Structure 1
């Protein structure tokens, strides 16, 4: 039996050899890891040179993971980030390089340039000065010196811009911020202050542009989204306003200003979309009521009042029931916007419905001046001109005393009343009987035309089916040029009023 002492003696005898083997294996692993990092660095450099940025980035990620103290790996990765336009990602890597190797002037110079673009002027100047103290190359020294001079000038411009801004000289401040942002392109504060200048100056498009950039430069910029939403709202763009305020709530669901504004915009947006659906369905009276509700919901934003009136003008015109009101509402739109082509076309159509043909012609002519080659305008103008010419001859609607929108029942009712009144049998005097006969024929012709859909359509388009000078109109193979309700030869004045 082997004793414990014997086993212990053997282990002690071979222990130095075991330790040597373990140490050799560890060294092999270490060498393998270093080789792997070198491989990733080399591959990353080749891919970067070839412009394959995403693949290069993957290798530099692996190199950083393999050796967290390899400053060159961080530097190369920052270089790729910059080439990809991801300066936010490059900045921490450059800072890590400087932490690991404070005298690495290229990294410090690049970081200084990024800080300058972000408007972090003091931090940028600190980097540029340190570059000059660490024996840089001639090119690096020249660049650092030039950037220092530029930063000093921007410091001066910032002070002047803020003074002008605080003095409410918004035009002067905006011009100074222009010069600042030309260099400090990622300076959120300068962009936001310039946006406010533009808002005060009424240049909303420029303000929107700056705020959109600001919302991207700062990850949690709820204020930019809120401002964008309110600007769009006041401009009458309810859909864009809703989109921007939703972006604010994505960042902060409990944001009080954004949530309150969201409820307001959502209600108005729903009303407008619902009203537009009613117009599409030709439910014009309901659409008018819905747009009137829009004006009650938001009475203080002129753009929404204008939008509502413009659509009410459209609905009333197409509803063809209230031409007088349509003319009035369209007129309100045109008072604020005299060149509104849609309002001009709609009012012109309402004038036609109201038999005010000369006014309709003027509106169509005005609309054509601001919208060339619009087929609808030309067709409407032709129609108004034909109807004006026609109105100076014989107007069957006027003969029966009905509106152009009258239904068949109204036309027959008016015809019966007038036919009974003007029937020649009611008159004994030969002259009066002759005049009544002529009047009676006109009444009968009016009824014949306006109760026949085909002839009424022709008449509405400026052609008189009963006029011998007009193109011959056929109905059921019969001509209507010599229409005579009494027939030919001797007749007795009996008439069927159906």
Structure 2
């Protein structure tokens, strides 16, 4: 009898070991898998087989976040913090799920729980600042992030503060933070483009030109930088440069009527009426309703 019991215990131990190994193997497979749906299927299998496997809930929750499935993400991160109550990331991601679903009060609650675990966590503090801003507590958000910036030189914090200043309509402060960010991250074209447009709107044309030229240095029209350069030089009455940059822009946007119109007007100032007629024909080709250009053509041909 004792031998039988020992044999049964051995079989159970081996089965448990094999079961654990199988779960671990599936977890490793899920980590390596690139396809989100296949990853989710593997995490589902793991959780069904081992409902206390905390990391599977966490990783599945991250996928739900990336899929904008906020409800499922909340359930997984709630389960994760029950299983791992001292893990900061669970509270932060649960806060993010509530933030994205616009439940800012719940988002703030879990953000504060994260900060109780680690009051100096940059990620948790940034999360709290973003929530405060959404709760129309922008000044509180500015105060908190400014304190954070004073002890941490992370350029992303300056970028976050710039976005809050922008919502408050404080252009000078926005530009100061964007300038500091780009000193550290000069290759971030999307931020340089943002700064260039703010400079353009505030009529700081010389600095805007510098940024847009930087964005087109490789010959590519980053977003619409060639067009913006054309518009700036038109404002400055430098019609030669206006046409130079607008024609670059029109290579990839040949049917853009407003750019064609500014280009034609610039050629009129340059007394290049042959070019004007070509552009008028181009406008009519793309928009037959622009009958006024038939009259303009007649005027030019006189």
Whose RCO is larger (CA < 8 A, sep 6+)?
2
TM normalised by structure 1 equals 0.32
TM normalised by structure 2 equals 0.48
Larger Rg: 1
